[in-house]
Amino acid sequence: MNLIRLLEDRADEIIKEANRALMSWRLTHYQKAGEDKCKRRLKTLYHFISKSIKKCSSTSLILYVQNITRERFNSGYDIQEVQIAFNILEEAIWKKVLEEVDNMTPVELGKVLGTISTVCGTGKDTLADTYVMLSGKTGTPSLDIEALFKGTDCVLISDCEEKSEQEHGIES
């Protein structure tokens, strides 16, 4: 099976399925954007995923995802909304690929699965990294992990380990 040809031949079906699924999630910002705009966005993301696979390089996908992450972040999108949209598109790709599983040898299947996972994973990692960087610049609230340790006798992990060892009669 030729993955590039499948992605080209099934592009419209994949994008249509992804858009239908995205609209069914009823995500606030994507609902406001509307079905047509979401379809265009999915088509563009799909283009960059396909291009990365075809060129064996994720550079353009990374740059595109950094850009859309900044746009979505500045428009008030929660990272979860954008992540869901990305996952939905990846799932639609998987569905079409797996329809062809009978036409693949185990080696081909492994290569196809590895390629799609690597490219989509790179995009999602870029999304998360960029969102975290942007959150840090604007002072977006994050989890206060110090609150997890309030009321305990331990201050540092090493202190906790030492205290635990003493309580259990273990000598350092």
Using CA atoms, how far apart are residues 61 and 48, in angstroms rounded to an integer? 5
Phi, psi (deg, nearest 5) at residue 25? -75, -20
My answer on whether 49 and 97 are in the same domain is: yes
Closest CA to 48 of 68, 26, 77, 23: 68
pLDDT at 155: 45
pLDDT at 30: 95
My answer on whether 13 and 57 are in the same domain is: yes
The tens digit of pLDDT for each residue in 48-79 reads: 999 999 999 999 999 999 999 999 999 999 99
pLDDT at 163: 52
DSSP string computed for 28-72: HHHHHH-HHHHHHHHHHHHHHHHHHHHHT--HHHHHHHHHHHHHH
The tens digit of pLDDT for each residue in 112-154 reads: 999 999 999 999 999 999 999 999 886 555 555 565 556 555 4
Using CA atoms, how far apart are residues 124 and 119, in angstroms rounded to an integer? 9
Using CA atoms, how far apart are residues 148 and 46, in angstroms rounded to an integer? 41
My answer on whether 29 and 96 are in the same domain is: yes
pLDDT at 112: 94
My answer on whether 102 and 164 are in the same domain is: no
Q: How many domains does the chain have?
A: 2
- Please name the residue ranges forming H helices in the chain: 3-9, 11-24, 28-33, 35-55, 59-74, 79-98, 106-138, 157-167
Range of the domain at 37: 3-141
Residue 33 has pLDDT above 70, yes or no: yes
Instruction: Tell whether pTM > 0.95.
Output: no
My answer on whether 149 and 131 are in the same domain is: no
My answer on whether 154 and 126 are in the same domain is: no
Running DSSP on this structure, what letter comes out for residue 82? Answer: H
- Output the domain CATH number for residue 55: 1.10.490
pLDDT at 139: 56
Q: Specify the amino acid at residue 171.
A: E
My answer on whether 11 and 41 are in the same domain is: yes
Q: How is residue 17 written in tokens?
A: 């399925």
My answer on whether 165 and 85 are in the same domain is: no
My answer on whether 80 and 108 are in the same domain is: yes
My answer on whether 9 and 45 are in the same domain is: yes
Distances (CA, A) of 102 to 9, 11, 113, 121: 18, 20, 14, 25
CA 140, distance to chain mean position in Å, is 20
pLDDT at 118: 97
My answer on whether 136 and 162 are in the same domain is: no
Q: Which is more confidently placed, 28 or 167?
A: 28
pLDDT at 148: 54
Using CA atoms, how far apart are residues 17 and 94, in angstroms rounded to an integer? 11
pLDDT at 145: 55
My answer on whether 114 and 170 are in the same domain is: no
